Structures are given as C-alpha cells and as structure tokens.
Structure 1
C-alpha cells in the first residue's frame, strides 16, 4: 500500500533537517537540498511504512517542484520591474554585455568540443552562463555586503542575466520542446516565444492603472486567489505554446511589479516561494541517479574551472568599466560564480525535451559544485585578492580602499 501523504510528510521532514543543517553551517540551503534529494530517491531503502524511494509521491513532489520554479521566477520578476530595468545605468549594460559575451561563448565552446548535438549545446551554454540570483542575493545579505559599491554592479548583472534568460529560455524552450531544427522552424519558435513575451509586457504596462483598481481587494484571501490565479494561468498558457512556464511566471512578476500593490504581493508570496522553492531543489535531487553521475564528472569539473575563470575575468572587466577599485572588481568576479535555479530549469527543460541524459547528470554535478564553491569564494575574496596583488600589480588592500570606486583616470590610463 502506498501512503502518498506520508511520503510527502517524510520529504518535508528531510527538507526541514536540511534547512537546520544549512542554518547551523551558515551556508546556502540549495546544495544541501540537492544532496538530500540525491541521497534518497528510487535507489534508497524502504523501512517499514517509511518509503525513502518516494515512488508513489513522485508525481506530487514533482508538481510542487514545478510550482517552486513558478514562484521563484515570479518573485524575481517582482524584484525588478520593467521600469527599473529601463533605468539601469550604462555601466550595468556594458558590464552585463561583457559578462554574457565571455561566459556564453565559453558555454557554447565546451559542449561543442565534447561533440554534443546542437540542442544539447544550446542548453549547456545556458546552464554555464547564468548565475544564481537566489544564491548571490543570499550571500550578499549573509556577508553584509549590501552597502558595498560593487553590490550595485553585482545586482545589475543579475538583472541583466534575468532579462537574458527570459529571452533565451523562450527561444530554447521552443526549440527543445517542439523539436524544430530547420531555420524556418527555429525562427517560428523564436517569434512565437518572443511575441508572447513582448505582448504580455506591453499589455501589462498598458493595464497598470486597471490592475491597481482590480487588485484593490480588502480580503487577503480573495487577493491571494486573484494574484495566484493569474500567475498559474499565464504560466500554464505559456506552456501550451511551448514557452517555459517559468517565463510566464517571470512576466507576471514584471508586470505586477509596476503596480501599487507590490509590497502586499511580495509579503504574500515569500512563504510560498520558500516552501515550494525548497521542494523544487529537493525534487531535482530526487531526479538524479547518483550511480549514473560518473560519466559527467570530467565535463562538470572542466566546466567549473572554466566558469570560475570566465566569471572572474568578466567581473574584473565589468567592474573596471564601472570605475570600481581592484578589490571591488574582485568581489564582482567571485560573487557571481554560483549557479542554481536557472541552470536547473534548463536541465529540466532538457529532460522534458528528451535530450541526452548526460545533460541532467552534468547539470547536477556542475550546479552542486558551484553552489558550494561560489559562496566560499565570495567569503574568501579578501584572501584571494591579497594573493593576486603581485600578479596584477594591485595596491595592498586597506580598510580605506576596500570596495571603493577609483578615479576614472586610474581605470582608463590617460594617453
């Protein structure tokens, strides 16, 4: 006899233990949840009524994980509205372009050298080039770096990546889910996805005044149903036209961020984001067979090294364009290393599209390693900077110069 509710309760118990462990270690919960999911799953034992295989409850856990993706992307959309995005500074645009050119190029190059098929190459390129906004934001808060000068650039890069991933996921999801490989097919998939995204944003901006009025609902219960109903409907509709449901959620967040009800929506969605987000990372771990990760070890390790070097170089160049000190540039390059939710979304997209199973294994190891390494590199950025000073001829770090902007003449030598 299967006990679905009991299994879900057992899963929540494991997630709770993982959360306590993360708090005790003062570490990101993401890699710990993924590891917890990998440890249990179909290969795990059944002890009496406690089935650690999670076979009967797998569809429900997977569904809650999908809701986690929706709420994560919805919340990120709320964090930066279209208006804020348009007001982003020139330095953020330049820095984001530098970052994407370096890391996306590396992301395309590696799977091409491994001889992977074209669709797999596109998915892996996205997995490699997109940082984890959730982990980066948590690290900045945990290390109390929110007020640092370089944090503006870091958050700007996150915003730039979020926009890039919205467009990229739209195109790649159409290509992977429809199987379009001809040029007309690819263009059609891209046009439908981009048309849907642009249409929702333009329509949403025109409806802001109406949304303010429609959402002026005294009852919190009815307000929640209205917001979540619109969120799930748009996400579900996007899936029907072969656009990732995460994109629909992101678009809804971007639109609602323009309304006067933003604070009320954010306060409402945070518990759902945390709950279903935890289920998302745990369910991703459940989908990974640890016995099948061996073949992905070397590709993942190579990609990790290349990613760290590429992110560091991009951070130095982006920070220099913004007039940051060498220490500030170092912090930018090391803080954006973590990979997480976006890479996992792309890996799940690859699975849904029937791509090579190696993509899932690669993504699991790659994300796991960088989700652990990224926060450690960020925490030890001062030590790393001091070791690199002789190499780059940087000045010794002092409390007066740490993270501060430098004169433009120091950034761009006078001719």
Structure 2
C-alpha cells in the first residue's frame, strides 16, 4: 500500500508541475495530465511509478463522476434557451458537421460501427475548459462572436447527455436489434426521468442534501451524485449520464453557487487522477500505428470547425475574422474525448481507440491555441462570397461589443455618393464613410486626404459606417475597432 501511495502521489505531483509549466506558454492542463500518465506508466520504456493502472479504477471513476457532475451544476440552461433560434442553428451545424464527419471517418478506419460512434463523439465535441481558457487568455471576452462561441459549447454539453444515452446501449453489445432498441429506450427513459426530476423535483433534492454547514452539504451532495451515477450504471446507462443529470438538478436549486465553489477543488484533484489513469493505460508502442489516422482526423476536425464557423458568421452577420475566431477557438478537444475512449476501452472495443484519442487530443492541445491566436491569417484568405456581406476592406478586423460610443448613433443611411471635400480639391477617393452622428460623408483612410477621420477628430464624432453599396459595418476611431451592440440588443 505504501508503494501505491508513493506512486500515486508522485504521478499527481508531476502532473501538476508539468501543467504549471504548460500554462506559462499558453497550453491547457488536461493533455499534460494525460501525457504524464503515459510517460510514467507501464506502457512506456523505463521505470513505472504505477505498474497496475487498474488499481486506480475507483478513484478514476470518482474523478469522472465529479467532472460530469460539476459540468451539470455549471450548465446555464436559461442562457441557452434565451440564445434564440440562430444560436441553436449554429450549434446544431457545428455538432452535425463535426460528429457526422467523425462518424464517416470512423467507418473509413474500418474498426467497427461501435468504434465509429466513439470516434464521432471524440472528434465532434470540443473542450469547454480549453475554449473558455483561450477566450480569457486571448482577451476576446468582449468580441461580438464570443457569446456565440459560449452558446455552442454550452449546447454541446447538453448534447453530451443525449449522446452518452445513445452510446451506452451500443457499448453494452446488445444481442439483437430488438434488444438494442430496448436498451436505447431504457437509456432515454432514464434520461427523461432525470430531466423530470430537474424540472419538478429540484426543491426536494435541495431539502435532501441542503445544510448550513459546508462539510455536511458537500458530503451529502457527493454521496447523492455517486449514488445516482451508480444506479445509472446498474440500469445499463453510463455513470457519466447520471452524474451530469444530477448536477443539472442541483443547478436549478438555491445550492448551486455554494456547491460550485465546494466541489471545484475536489473535482480538480480527482479529475486529474482520471486523466493520469487514462494516460497510464496507453501503450506508447501502439501510437505509431495511429499517427496517420490522427493527422487525418486533425485535418477533418479543422475543416469541420472552419466550415461551422463560416455558417455561424453568416447567421449572425460577422466578418471573416469572426468566422475564423469561432472555428479555431472551439478546435480543442479534451475531457469528453477521453471519457469516450475510457468507456470504449472498458467495453472491450478496439484497443487502438486509446492511443488514437490520446494522440489526437495531444496534437490539438498544441495546435488549437496556436491557430486561434493567429486567426487573422485565415480571415485574410477567406472570400466574401462565403458570407452575407462584403467585408473585403475589414475582413481581418475584430468586431467588439465594448464600445461606449454607440449611443452617438443618429444616422444610419445616406444618398450621398461623393466626398465633397475631395470634389472641391479635385482629388480622388477610394471608399466613402458615413458619420453616424451627423450624416457627413467623407473619404476613407486609404484615400489621399482621409477626410472621414479628419471630420471625426474635428467634430468629436467617433463612429463611422461604411457608405459603400452592400456594406453596413461600423468602426470607432477612439476604440480603433469594428463595433456592434451586444447580441440581442436592437440594431439602430
């Protein structure tokens, strides 16, 4: 037992140190935990700190339960429902493109139908933790496309519950099509029951686990989460579903904020054990056989994400930079991909799934932050015909919702088709800009005299609008960025 504790303590300590170093260079922590497990495990040449990864099975299972439970507690259901039809269309397009492409890719690998479903989920759903981390580190919280990105990952989390309910019977290897239908019905029936509890029984659950003392509250809540996860597994549904759904129940109670705070440290420690344990189970020698499939999978994911980003930009009227930001920010894969691989290996599916998903997540962990930080390069080559408006002049510019000068908008259209100052001087102009405060029309910054900027400085009118046919974007000279009101606000 002493050796087991030493091995576990060393693995978790090294995982934390490596993650700390990775964060200094902008890389997420989840793949670091997995990488440490691979390097310190029996599947790698050299000394192994934990020779029998299966000994960590119960701790890893608790990490998975708390990971999904906390995800359910954080789930902002009202935000999703208030996002409107366009948000659901954007998220549906993203999920459909990526999961569909992943399923076809899984079939092309020839590993089997159940394996293709696992590959579809692993390739199809992004990492909420990685996405939110990128938004903070890249200072994009006030970008116009950020609410769309957050809406997509939230709806992905909801999709996760349904996907696990569908996948669990498949992984159980039903004896006949009728038996499979029956198990799917049981899974969705159990899911519906938990949704009903979330809708109508949240108060009863709050009375059951609620207590003024934090100690008793966390003990009762974790006990309930583990119990529901266990019951889920007993009825043939993934324990992950039960944990996620009981978290969703808690999210609808007055205990939500306290439990978010109390569960977080426990979740982080045990989830680290889960990721390390996953890495410990990987045979490094098997990774060579999946290098080519992983590289193809990364390209498939990149293509699917960029396509979904363009669709979302069309729906919400963003430019090329917004489309690129959406597609590349949600590129990272992490927790859910590893959870699916763990379930697949536990069900006895093709052993290549483990190293395939591990290497896939590692590659995207490095690639996604690099590409997201350089999204302007993709925006530069993205043609206008893919979007609803003509953004050629400002395709690489960020659209911000933080401008404090939008209350100065008074004029939104004009019939003037010349720069009068340029006409008087007998010079030419490149494009025209409309002052949205007074209606003055003047030439752009690429014109010889930059009359629009001169007017803005002289009159103190900071916001202009393109006066070119087919364009209606607005730019603030003070904030030096494209601007628009936050999503849901009426456009003037």
TM-score relative to the length of structure 1: 0.90
- Say which SS state the counterpart of residue 357 (structure 1) adopts: coil
Q: Which runs of 5+ in 2 are unaligned?
A: 402-464, 473-492
1:183-194 → structure 2 map (5 Å cutoff)? 183-194=177-188
- Kept in 2: contact 1:339–1:370 (CA 8 A): yes
- Which residues in structure 2 correspond to 1:137-156 (within 5 Å)? 137-156=132-151
Does structure 1 residue 326 correspond to structure 2 residue 320?
yes
In structure 2, the partner of 1:180 is: 174
Aligned to 1:217, the other structure's residue is in SS state coil
Larger displacement relative to structure 2 (80-89 or 161-170): 80-89
1:307 to 301, 305, 317: 301
2:68 corresponds, among 50, 58, 73, to 73
Question: Which residue of 28, 51, 65 maps to 1:55?
Answer: 51
| Contact 1:175-1:181 at 8 Å conserved across structures | no
* Distance (Å, rounded) in 1 between the aligned partners of 2:327 and 2:78: 27
1:284 touches 1:344 (CA, 8 Å); kept in 2? yes
Supply the distance in 2 between the matched residues of 1:376 and 1:112 (Cα, whole angstroms): 30
Question: Structure 1 regions of 5+ residues with no counterpart?
Answer: none
Residue 110 of structure 2 is aligned to residue 122 of structure 1? no
Counterpart residue number, 2:41? 41
From 330, 340, 343, give the equivalent of 2:337. 343
- For 1:297 and 1:352, locate their aligned partners in 2 and report how far apart those are by CA, in whole Å: 23
Measured after TM superposition, the shift of residue 105 of structure 1 is 1.8
Q: For residue 247 of structure 1, what is the aligned residue in structure 2?
A: 241
- Give 1:110 shift: 1.2
Match of 1:134 in 2: 129
How far 1:152 moved relative to its partner? Answer: 0.9
CA distance in 2, matches of 1:396, 1:34: 44
Q: Single out whichever of 84-93 and 297-306 deviates more from structure 2.
A: 84-93
**2:10 and 2:49 in contact (8 A); partners too:** no
After superposition, residues 374-393 of structure 1 pair within 5 angstroms as 374-388=368-382
Shift of 1:86: 3.2
1:202-281 correspondence to structure 2 within 5 Å? 202-281=196-275
Q: Which has the larger radius of gyration?
A: 2
Output one character per residue of 1:76-121: Cα deviation in whole Å (capped at 9) or x when no partner: 1122244444333211111111112211221121122222211111
Name the counterpart of 1:356. Answer: 350
In 1, the alpha carbon distance for the partners of 2:175 and 2:364 equals: 32
Residue 90 of structure 2 is aligned to residue 95 of structure 1:
yes
Measured after TM superposition, the shift of residue 60 of structure 1 is 4.3
Deviation at 1:283, TM superposition (A): 1.5
Greater helix content: 1
The match for 1:402 is 398
CA–CA distance in structure 2, aligned partners of residues 52 and 131 of structure 1 = 31
Residue 338 of structure 2 aligns to a residue whose secondary structure is: helix
Query: How many equivalent pairs are there?
Result: 403
Contact 1:81 1:254 in 2 (8 A): no
Contact 1:81 1:255 in 2 (8 A): no
Q: Distance in 1 between matches of 2:68 and 2:256?
A: 15
1:265 is displaced (CA, Å) by 0.6
Query: For residues 210 and 98 of structure 1, do their structure 2 counterparts lie closer, same or farther at Cα, with a shift above 3 Å needed?
Result: same
Deviation at 1:389, TM superposition (A): 5.9
Task: Give the secondary structure class of the aligned counterpart of 2:145.
Answer: helix
Provide the rounded CA distance (Å) in 1 between the counterparts of 2:359 and 2:304: 18
How far apart, CA to CA, are the structure 2 residues paired with 1:317 and 1:193?
32
User: Where does residue 21 of structure 1 map in the other structure?
Assistant: 21
Query: 1:275-294 residue pairs with structure 2 within 5 A?
Result: 275-294=269-288
Deviates more, 1:132-141 or 1:333-342: 132-141
SS of corresponding position for 2:100: helix
8 Å contact from structure 1 (residues 153, 319) kept in 2: no
- 1:103-122 equivalences in 2 (<5 Å): 103-122=98-117
2:194 matched to which residue of 1?
200
